[in-house]
Structure 1
Amino acid sequence: IWAELLGLDRVGRHDHFFELGGHSLLAVRLLSRLSPAVGVEVPLSTLFARPVLCDLAESIVEDLSRADRKDLPAIVAVSRDEPLALSFAQQRLWFLAQLDEAGTNYHIPMALRLTGRLDRAALQRSLDGVFARHEALRHVFVAPDGKPRVRVLPADAGLPPVEHDLCGRADAEAALEDLCREEAHTPFDLSRGPMIRARLIRLSHEEHVFLLTQHHIVSDGWSMGVLVRELGQLYRAFAAGHDDPLAPLGIQYADYAAWQRQWLSGDRLQSQARHWREALSGAPARLALPTDRPRPAQQSFAGAGVPVVIDPALTRGLKRLASQQGTTLFMTVLAAWAAVLSRLSGQDDIVIGVPSANRGRREIEELIGFFVNTLALRLDLSGAPSVAQLLERTRRTALAAQEHQDLPFEQVVEIVKPQRALDHTPLFQVMLAWQDAAVERLDLPGLAVEAVGNAYDQVKFDLELSLGESGEELAGKLHYATALFDEATIERQRGYLLALLRAMVADAGQPVGRIELLSREERTYLLEELNRTEADYPSHKCIHELFEAQV
């Protein structure tokens, strides 16, 4: 199992999971395979405590000796004769959609430029194939009695792209921008569907732009990887005159939704609810970040972003630090981000939202659907912790959250009952999204494929830091609400994060609160330039004469 997930030919009994390239998401996938194989649930904390293969095996043997082997409940197909239930996550988004039917904040857009000879028939068959294969993409949401239910569109309904021909037009690029903007901002009708749509824009005989937009209620980031991979496999097969190469799926998203409602009940539900009630009790309702403008009475979702790049040398240093402290890269960056937010806000109790893939079951890894959950991680920076102490606190918090990740965020909010307001999101206003999974690229034979436009003009929170490994470095973006912040402010915050990460790598024993965040230029500006208040004045006159002149 280790070799399969880590992409290795061989794994030795004394090998260390994280030193072989394991990370948080791979750890979750490992346990989703391991638990059914051995018959006991293996907590994530066990893998972090005993990451060497033989030690982990010994721990599992100890667990087996204390408990009877039992098969974990399987996800099975449910009848399609009865109305299908929404998952907890779908139910939350459906409710939000009723409050803002014209909203586009939960769209998942993709725009790709295709250069080369496009086989349009193969592309159409590929889109139809994915649409038929994944039932979630055919979900529509009806509520005749006020209670939402899922209705499934026919598998043969197809997904024909809307086509536009800009060939030969002088204003082709401007028209393309307009079409991309129109596509991203056209709302879905949840009661009619489908929740996915495509456009194909022809710029020349061998240049097209392909737009694919999904509603988050049927998809998520992981699902995008599945969709892109399968579209490529189908296109390759159909363009070569072959049949569908994909193995049939054993279950569909609706089967998972039914299983989830049965599984997350009783003692398990109470245990998860108890954890979050205790973890978030008394947490601050709002992170008091200094903003460039007053917070509007109602939250604005207008946003922008600045790139964040952590160079290879610093990335290697962070990996060493994580290995020495028994954490992951994600936990290390999370600790640093919390420390920056603490310094900016003057608060030592920080809550940060973290998306969790929530794919802890082997059966759902290849499904398209809305599985992702949001975890509210509460970081304690009180008592002047050192870098090492903060990393240990962050590690404990992250592991506990992962082991209680099944309770949907909306239910967590209902349990904690934070103070609600229209001007900010409940529990947290800052997000850290970690892109653990390798980003799938659409691979179409005979075509060069590249992303079109990287505009990100909507945010769900005040600040959203998105990072992931890209080659030998960490790269991503820091998105921000433009109603609150100027770009220059966010660029400074990016600098604070990089400065703090460098200092953490240099000395894990130093107090986090004493790490210098300001660059030499910013320190000079604050202490010297802003304090240059000298001005010329007529020194030969007395003070009462100057006063009279001023009057």
Structure 2
Amino acid sequence: GLGEVRGDGSGVGEARRMLPQALNDRLREQARRLGVSLASLCHLAWGQVVARSSGREQVVFGTVLFGRMHAGAGADRALGLFINTLPVRLDLDGTGVAASVRTTHARLSELLAHEHASLALAQRCSGVAAPAPLFGALLNYRHNTPAAMAGSGTDDGLSGVEWLGGEERTNYPLTLSVEDYGEALGLTAQVVEPVSADRVCGYMQHVLEQLAEALERAPDRPVRELDILPAAERTYLLEDLNRTAAAYPSQRCVHELFEAQVRQAPEALAVVHEDERLSYGELNARANRLAHHLIGLGV
């Protein structure tokens, strides 16, 4: 239900976090074992975040492509950005986790053949009529240098240059960048308010942990069962929000409490079922008739 980002992007929140080193190592080991890229694992995990957040098992989100793989002769000497963004569709269903990883890897590999196709062409080839966007969520898997991880704003080759700052924004309301530093992984989320960007990072980290666990111990586990809720948020939703404890005369039986409510407000509405409505007085009269009928039967 999030709309596109408009204006100067000031309504977008940003959050960054580094993933635990142990999780980084486990994910890379599983990618090597399956013979796929680490990016494939991250795409599958992001697909599950989108699926669980939208209540769908078939999801489409955008992925940022490098753009130089099929750029032709001399592309390695050309300046400028070659990047492109295209949609990828994943099925987060009853398929096993390991099989889903391999399918994701295959779909990303197939997409590379079209890395120079325009997003407008993809829109025309789809069943989605403009101006509705093909997707509202974006994943950018990018390789960074260790210096970038440290937050260094200077480069030894650029002495005398001072880093003042920078900001990147897109029109997509939900953007996640996976920062691959070679031996470490980080997340950067940009999300239109009021959704918390840090919560989105938490979802992604948790599903990556679930994915690593499943690949290690239960590779045939259905991918739809991967959870995205961190323990703290699950506790908040299921326990904190349901703390409805209140003082009441616990020494009295339920029917006694009900009869007290009948005496206090006999005309108050007690039950609604389709077109029928009963007050506390009417419900009490029916309950008494039923009780006497049961007593007459020997109950």
Q: Same fold (TM over 0.5)?
A: yes
The residue type equivalent to 1:306 in the other structure is: A
Shift of 1:362: 4.3
Alpha carbons of 1:323 and 1:451: their partners in 2 closer, same or farther (altered >3 Å)? Answer: same
In structure 1, the partner of 2:111 is: 401
Mapped partners of 1:376, 1:490: distance in 2? 20
Contact map agreement 2:174 2:191 (CA 8 A) in 1: yes
Query: Does the C-alpha gap of structure 1 residues 375 and 488 become closer, same or farther in structure 2, counting only changes over 3 Å?
Result: closer
Match of 1:436 in 2: 143
1:348 aligns with 2:57: yes
1:377 to 88, 93, 97: 88
Equivalent of 1:476 in 159, 173, 187 = 187
What is the CA deviation profile of residues 234-264 of structure 1, one whole-angstrom value per residue up to 9, with x for unaligned ones? Answer: xxxxxxxxxxxxxxxxxxxxxxxxxxxxxxx
SS at match of 2:156: coil
* 1:412 partner letter: A
Alpha carbons of structure 1 residues 326 and 446: separation in structure 2 relative to 1, 3 Å? closer
Q: Residues 341 and 445 (structure 1 numbering): CA distance in 2 closer, same or farther, change over 3 Å?
A: closer
Select the residue among 200, 207, 225 that pairs with 1:490.
Answer: 200
The answer as to 2:96 corresponding to 1:386 is yes
* Structure 1 pair 322–391 and aligned structure 2 pair: CA distance change class (3 A): same
Shift of 1:437: 5.7
2:210 alignment partner in structure 1: 500
For residue 460 of structure 1, what is the amino acid of its counterpart? N
Per the alignment, residue 22 of structure 2 pairs with 313
Q: Which residue pairs with 2:172 in the alignment?
A: 461
Q: 2:121 aligns with which of 396, 407, 411?
A: 411
**8 Å contact kept, 2:86–2:115:** yes
3-state SS, counterpart of residue 77 of structure 2:
coil
Structure of larger gyration radius? 2
Secondary structure of 2:116's aligned partner? coil
What amino acid is aligned across from residue 443 of structure 1 in structure 2? D
Q: How far off is 1:548 after superposition? A: 7.4
Contact 2:64 2:85 in 1 (8 A): yes
Amino acid at match of 1:510: R
Query: 1-side partners of 2:87 and 2:41: how far apart?
Result: 17
Aligned residues: 250
For the residues of structure 1 that align with 2:243 and 2:174, how far apart are their CA atoms?
33
The question of whether the paired residues in 1 share the 8 Å contact of 2:46 and 2:204 is answered with no
Question: What SS does the corresponding residue of 1:308 show, helix, strand or coil?
Answer: strand
Q: Residue 365 of structure 1: SS of its match in structure 2?
A: helix
Residue 240 of structure 2: aligned partner: 529
Give, in angstroms, the shift of residue 335 of structure 1: 1.0
Q: How far apart, in 2, do the equivalents of 1:529 and 1:499 lie?
A: 24
Q: Label 1:376 to 1:491 Cα distance change in 2 as closer, same or farther (>3 A).
A: closer
1:547 is matched with 265
Gaps of at least 5 residues in structure 2 are 149-153, 270-299
Quote how far apart the aligned CAs of 1:368 are: 2.3
Cα separation, 1, equivalents of 2:108 and 2:37:
10
Change (3 A) 1:400 1:510: same
Contact in 1 for aligned 2:23/2:209 (Cα 8 Å): no
Closer/same/farther in 2, CA of residues 546 and 326 from structure 1, 3 Å limit = farther
Instruction: Say whether the 8 Å CA contact 2:45–2:204 is kept in structure 1.
Output: no
Considering Cα pairs closer than 8 Å and 6+ residues apart, tell me whether 1 or 2 has the greater RCO.
2
Please list, as runs of the form range in 1=range in 2, the aligned pairs for 1:26-45 lying within 5 A after superposition.
none
CA distance, structure 2, for counterparts of residue 335 and residue 307 of structure 1:
20
Partners of 1:495 and 1:434 in 2: CA distance? 15
- The whole-number CA distance in structure 1 between the counterparts of 2:57 and 2:203 is 18
Q: Residue deviations 1:139-196, cap 9 Å, x none? A: xxxxxxxxxxxxxxxxxxxxxxxxxxxxxxxxxxxxxxxxxxxxxxxxxxxxxxxxxx
Question: What displacement does 1:428 show?
Answer: 1.2
What is the match of residue 234 of structure 1?
none
**TM-score, normalised to structure 2's length?**
0.71
Q: Could you tell me how far apart the structure 2 residues matched to 1:495 and 1:547 are? A: 52
- Kept in 1, the 8 Å contact 2:5–2:173? The answer is no
In structure 2, distance between residues paired with 1:495 and 1:450: 34
Shift of 1:345: 1.8
TM-score when normalising by structure 1: 0.41
Shift of 1:381: 2.2
* SS in structure 2 of the partner of residue 434 of structure 1: strand
Task: Calculate the aligned-residue CA RMSD, in Å.
Answer: 3.1
- Shift in CA distance, 514/417, structure 1 to aligned 2, threshold 3 Å: closer
